[in-house]
Amino acid sequence: MKVSRLIGLAIAVMMLLSLGLAPTLAQDCDGEVIELEFMNWWGAAREALMDTLIGHFQEENPCIRIINQVQPWDNRAELLATAAASSNPPGIIMSTRPETYHFAISGLIIPIDHFVEAHGTDLSVFYDGEIGLQYWNGELYGLPMPTAGGLTSLYIYNKDMLRDAGFDPEAPPKTWQELEEMSAAITVADPMGVDVMGTQVIGITGGDAAFVSWLYTNNGRYASDDGRTLLFNSPEGIETLEWMVNFTNNINGGVENVADFFQDTAFAQGDHPWYEDKLAFLRINTSFYGHYNVNDPEGYADTSHWGTMLRPYNGDNPNATHAGTTGYNYSGAWAYTIPAVHPPEKQEAAFKFAEFIGVHPLGGCAFLFAQSRPSPVKACNENPAYYEVNPTWSVVLEGLATDVAVSITPVQGQLAEILANAVEEALFGVKSPADALNDAHEEMQALLDEFWAEFDADNM
Amino acid sequence: MAQASLKAKHDQTDITWKTRFQEWWFRNRALIGFAFILPWFAGFIIFDAAPFIYNLYLSFTDYQIGTVGTPPWIGLENYTKIFTADKLFSKSMYNTVYYLGFSVPLRLIFAFLVALILNLRVRGMELYRTLFYVPSVVPLVAATVIFAGFLNTRYGFLNQFLVLIGAMPVRWLSSPDAIKPSLILLSLWGFGGQMIIFLAGLQSIPEDLYEAAAIDGGTGWHRLVYITVPLMTPTIFFNLLLGLIGGFQVFEQVFILIGTNGGPLQAGLVYMLHVYNKAFRDFEFGYSAALSVILFLIIFVLTLMVVYTSNRWVFYGDAQDDEI
């Protein structure tokens, strides 16, 4: 036999074997197999985990074949927009809250209330705040899978650095004032900027999100519950931004120092100052535990070295307390949404899958547990094994309880950009915090009014 | 005899066939010509002209993602909004013009100077040419990531070098004042393409002109100013046009280096980033289409102006000969 034939045969055998091993093969379906392309951004690192989950789903639903389409993050916006708007979109799409809302008002995705009713899905298993984020105009458009904690109230802190600076490692800062005191004691400047940092209170990307987070720890609010009135330029808001500017200038030496300190680093990639014991307090979202465990398993396992704390609040404001925000961040409040163009049977299959990866013990629960991060499903988080994989689990649950859902609209992208610029203008000293917020408020409210006027006219 | 007759008949048939084919070819030469350019033309229609016309149409509509059926026609509303209500239009246009105002001439000069050096007759020149061209074949994404490392304030090569020579480090990517110079610096990276074109132009200059100048006592400077530069003006003109068009459309490197918001105080928000944000972040495709039409018009007018003024400074040898 010729060599080329041998190679061809070997390739054919390998392909057959790989097909046989693939978790996506529906084996015992006695009817027509429905193929469902699952467009998601869970990343290559979690692909195997997702494939396992899909395998479990297909064992229970042999007539539904899930094609796991993990997408690159870099050009997410174009991929999502073109896929959603095409005549042949994926069967189920992972989208953020603003995207979900936008697709909803554009008629690109369907509300799933009728599926929830038909399948008897118990929505009370979710935290109210989590499921509440997925409603637009009174209709439910997706089931949450991760917590919406893109901006949770959680911080991790370095106990060794606290100890070295003369503070009690088991008593992390509870208030802004304590955070200032500890950060000032820990931060070390050098000719190139900052070498060791207590913490930073501004966002590295998108200062608006950081501002909104701190705003809620000063008893302020971003917008009214109906999302029609912006409230962030209240006295609490102005006080918050002033505090952020002062902290950044006085303790970190300015906004540029902060940007330089974190330049070209990423927690998920393992090259973040946290891993080098150069950062004492780090604002996290719930994905960080999994990344920490992957990048530094020994450090993660050593709880004498690190702990979890809640976002400090303004100790001078008697009404302020710990708070986190959910659903504000442009990349937060992920859900699985179902495109409108597909036939009903495919949409139903998509809902079944969304339900599985949302609430099933072998689905969403297991997927998030494997990453040491909480689930939007209350019962999943009661798994005692969480305390073993995440030694600070009790604080995580405490943090989830403090989360506040923020009202946003489909024009959140534009609003966030204006607010981010206002925060930057204050940080760079272009405007005073009060002027920056008031100017931004005027512009943003006009944009919001325009949106609601159009929306109300369309829905008369 | 019979054999000779058969051969003559065969030759005649052959000639007749050839003649007929040639006649057919000549008669239909226009069609055949069109057939040859059809693949390119089809590609142009499908991938350039049709999207352009559709984009023009969309710019007069309120097309948003997911608009079912015909998007609502809103006339000039998008254009009015651009000039009256969009603060980022002027900001992004300013940033872009600033960028190309420096990057295009700098890149032209740099590429020209390197091409001059690489045109010298030196041993191993092929190797040098290859080395200088290599950066141009590095994908832009990879080059930008490498550059991000160079520009890192704390650990980047550039700042380490500046500190070494006793200068102050520069906050290349974190200071609003340094963002645009950083982007301009990055634009020099891919000068190899222009350099190769300049090199080809330099090599097409007749040697006898230099010899004549040498006989007349012309120095190297004289040869450069009075022979090389004038004869290179068509190539400079070509590279200038491409540079301007590319400069207005700068996107990828900015997107990778500082993200979609354009860096601190949006000092690096170039025009194409604004177009991108409007389309893919805000889903305002009609508005984004209008922004891109404006960009097209600006590039078109500028190109016309450059072409129009080229009569005054571009030296075409043939035209000169005709006049003589």
Cβ–Cβ < 8 Å for B156, B162? no
State pLDDT tens for residues A367-416: 988 888 888 898 999 889 989 888 889 998 888 888 888 888 988 888 99
Q: Which chain B residue has the Cα nearest residue A96?
A: B281
State pLDDT tens for residues B1-32: 556 666 666 666 667 888 888 899 999 999 99
Q: Is A424's CB within 8 Å of B264's CB?
A: yes
Q: What is the mean pLDDT of chain A?
A: 88
- Quick one: CA dihedral B276, B281, B285, B288, positive or negative? negative
Q: Is B264's CB within 8 Å of A256's CB?
A: yes
- B261: which chain A residues are within 8 Å (Cβ-Cβ)? 205-206, 417, 420
State pLDDT tens for residues A132-176: 889 998 999 998 877 766 667 899 999 999 999 999 999 999 999
Beta bridge partners of A94: A336
Please tell me the least confidently modeled range out of A29-33, A181-185, A415-419, B163-167. Answer: A29-33
Q: Is B176's CB within 8 Å of A84's CB?
A: no
Q: Is A192's CB within 8 Å of B64's CB?
A: no
Question: How large is the average pLDDT for residues A251-262?
Answer: 94
pLDDT category of residue A50 using cuts at 50, 70 and 90: very high
Location of structure tokens 């420096």: B102
Q: What is the reported pLDDT for A320?
A: 97
Judged by a CB distance cut-off of 8 A, whether residue A424 touches chain B is yes
Among candidates A85, A413, A428 on the partner chain, residue whose Cβ is nearest the Cβ of B264: A428
Q: H-type helices in A107-158, by residue range?
A: 113-119, 128-132
Q: What is the reported pLDDT for A21?
A: 44
Q: Which 3 state secondary structure label does DSSP give A154? A: strand
Q: Is B154's CB within 8 Å of A78's CB?
A: no
Cβ–Cβ < 8 Å for B186, B253? yes
Q: Which amino acid is at A191?
A: P
Judged by a CB distance cut-off of 8 A, whether residue A300 touches chain B is no
Contacts of A408 (CB under 8 A, 6+ apart): A97, A98, A101, A223, A227, A327, A328, A415
- Cα of A203 to nearest chain B Cα, Å: 12
Question: How large is the average pLDDT for residues B290-307?
Answer: 96
Q: Is the confidence at residue B322, as pLDDT, over 60?
A: no
Q: Is A264's CB within 8 Å of B176's CB?
A: no
Helix (H) and strand (E) counts in chain A: 20, 14
What value of ipTM does the predicted structure carry?
0.79
- B279: which chain A residues are within 8 Å (Cβ-Cβ)? 81
- Quick one: CA dihedral B254, B255, B258, B264, positive or negative? positive
- Cα of A29 to nearest chain B Cα, Å: 35
Beta bridge partners of A405: A326
Cβ–Cβ < 8 Å for A156, A306? yes
Judged by a CB distance cut-off of 8 A, whether residue B149 touches chain A is yes
Q: Which residue has the higher pLDDT, B304 or B282?
A: B304
Q: What is the reported pLDDT for A15?
A: 44
Q: Is the confidence at residue B102, as pLDDT, over 60?
A: yes
Q: Is the confidence at residue A433, as pLDDT, over 90?
A: yes
Among candidates A107, A421, A425 on the partner chain, residue whose Cβ is nearest the Cβ of B66: A107
Q: Is B65's CB within 8 Å of A414's CB?
A: no
Question: How large is the average pLDDT for residues A103-125?
Answer: 92
Location of structure tokens 């040498």: B214
Q: Which chain B residue has the Cα nearest residue A258?
A: B174
Judged by a CB distance cut-off of 8 A, whether residue A457 touches chain B is no
- B64: which chain A residues are within 8 Å (Cβ-Cβ)? 106
- A259: which chain B residues are within 8 Å (Cβ-Cβ)? 171, 173-174, 264
Q: Is B280's CB within 8 Å of A205's CB?
A: no
pLDDT category of residue A310 using cuts at 50, 70 and 90: very high
- A424: which chain B residues are within 8 Å (Cβ-Cβ)? 264-265
How many A/B residue pairs have CB atoms within 8 Å?
80
Please tell me the least confidently modeled range out of A26-35, B44-53, B98-107. Answer: A26-35
The 8 Å CB, 24+ separation contacts for A448-452 are A448/A227, A448/A228, A448/A230, A448/A409, A448/A411, A448/A415, A451/A409, A451/A410, A451/A411, A452/A228, A452/A409
